[in-house]
Amino acid sequence: MNILVVGGGGREHAIIKSVKKNNNVDKIYALPGNGGIAKDAECVDISAKDLDAIVDFAIKHSIDYAIVAPDDPLVLGCVDRLNEVGIPCFGPDKKAAIIEGSKAFSKNLMKKYAIPTAKYEVFTDRDEAVEYLKSQDMPIVVKADGLALGKGVIIALTLEEAIEAVDSMMLGKVFGASGDSVVIEEFLTGPEVSVLAFTDGTTLIPMISSMDHKRVGDGDTGLNTGGMGTIAPNPYYTEEIARLCYDTIFIPTMEAMNSEGRKFKGCLYFGLMLTPNGPKVIEYNCRFGDPETQVVLPLMQSDLLEVMMAVTEERLADIEVKFSDKSACCVIVASGGYPASYPKGKVITIDDSVSDSVYVAGASIVDGDMVTSGGRVLGVTAVSDTLENAIKCAYDKVTKVDFEGAYFRHDIGQKALRALEAK
Ligand code: AMP
Ligand code: GLY
């Protein structure tokens, strides 16, 4: 089989490493891939947003199956376009991808179908938004409606900060058209859990839970990032909470999408907060999380490509999806300065002993060297019998990768360890 993977980050690298294990796979192309993915797939310099070029490439290279991983092409309708020319895909179509593409859509969906989430209002008028803010308790959360690379969320501690956030999104357009409408939301507290789930619209199978670390600095300080590290499973996500989430959030969401005529097929990501009033949805994503995938897939024992194809062919109910009972930890190594500005072009060295555990996110090949080209450069994952060992082993492996200015958090998994100790 010829497989096409659309995307070029650490998540796509993890997907490709898993898909490669299937014996029916002859060739994997990554569009655009990156300098590290190039070791595992043929990378072609086509943007993940250039749907015309992707479809053209897929036809010319006799692609048998495509995996569309990032939010942008999914929201733009990449799956619809590939399906139109007869290429089966993993990922939701455009109608279903709106669950991530518009926060206003997803919030209204949750309200309509009584799926637990933070109280909210949606505004398209700046003055109305400000009037509403004046009547609310602080802190409060201000979100740009559309895609904003995980950065369109501001937690305002004071009314002034909240108004500033609304103005920067609606008037300053810091997130472009994504800020034409804003969601203003109640501030929730509690541990966060990420749950990815396979669904074909009829059956939904949650994967192992995980915990992201979104802030750039140790102790959850500093700016929000795309994710500085992950662990799995998430110790806060007990069996009892998992059952509650399945019954009150996961299945109701799948059914709500069906009722709206937007059947979701692919990986549905639930960003949850376990509040004192029960689990609530913070966000939906229409795709695998990054860097959650880099800990979830290494723990998956079933064949990823077979599961994906079962989703596409709507026969998920007939197969089993198994996960190991071990733990995993992924530490992201970023360019110094990220998420603000950072240098590029620094030569990356990865010791052979750890290359299987490294998922490259931001690198290109220049004159035969792998050099940094992004903020998050790579992730290093370790799997072990206990979370404590997985963390230790991941940090040992981090010493085997290097580039000038490499930066990583030193406390990935520590909050989870403390939660385990408290049990
Ligand atoms: P999102 O992009 O919606 O996942 O938001 C990014 C991060 O902002 C989340 O992972 C939370 O840590 C935080 N956040 C979002 N919404 C809320 C909320 N209603 N209350 C508290 N924190 C929130
Ligand atoms: N790790 C969060 C996300 O993928 O959106």
Which pLDDT score, from 0 to 100, does residue 173 have? 74
Which ligand 2 atom sits closest to the C-alpha of 288? 4
Ligand 2 neighbourhood includes 292 CB (under 6 angstroms): yes
Q: Identify the residue whose C-alpha is closest to ligand 2 atom 5.
A: 289
Q: Which ligand is nearest to the CA of 116?
A: 1
Task: Give the architecture-level CATH label for domain 327-422.
Answer: Alpha-Beta Complex (3.90)
Task: Give the architecture-level CATH label for domain 192-318.
Answer: 2-Layer Sandwich (3.30)
The CATH class of 119-186 is alpha beta
Which pLDDT score, from 0 to 100, does residue 104 have? 87
Instruction: Please tell me the distance from the alpha carbon of residue 343 to that of residue 266, in angstroms, as a whole number.
Output: 36
Strands 229-232 and 2-7: unpaired
Which pLDDT score, from 0 to 100, does residue 199 have? 98
Q: Which ligand is nearest to the CA of 189?
A: 1
Whether 335 and 375 have beta carbons less than 8 Å apart is answered as yes
Ligand 2 neighbourhood includes 289 CB (under 6 angstroms): yes
Which pLDDT score, from 0 to 100, does residue 297 have? 98
Type of residue at 64: D
Interval 349-384: pLDDT, tens? 999 999 999 999 999 999 999 999 999 999 999 999
Instruction: Please tell me the distance from the alpha carbon of residue 404 to that of residue 423, in angstroms, as a whole number.
Output: 40
Which pLDDT score, from 0 to 100, does residue 224 have? 85
Instruction: Please tell me the distance from the alpha carbon of residue 106 to that of residue 125, in angstroms, as a whole number.
Output: 19
Write out the residue limits of the CATH 3.30.470.20 domain(s) in the chain.
Answer: 192-318
- CATH topology for 2-91 is Rossmann fold (3.40.50)
Q: Identify the residue whose C-alpha is closest to ligand 2 atom 3.
A: 289
Write out the residue limits of the CATH 3.90.600.10 domain(s) in the chain.
Answer: 327-422
Which ligand 1 atom sits closest to the C-alpha of 118? 19
pLDDT, mean of each 10-residue run, the chain (423 residues): 98 98 98 97 98 98 98 98 98 98 92 96 93 95 76 88 92 75 93 98 98 96 92 98 98 98 98 97 97 98 98 98 98 96 96 97 96 97 98 98 98 96 86
Which pLDDT score, from 0 to 100, does residue 178 have? 67
Write out the residue limits of the CATH 3.40.50.20 domain(s) in the chain.
Answer: 2-91
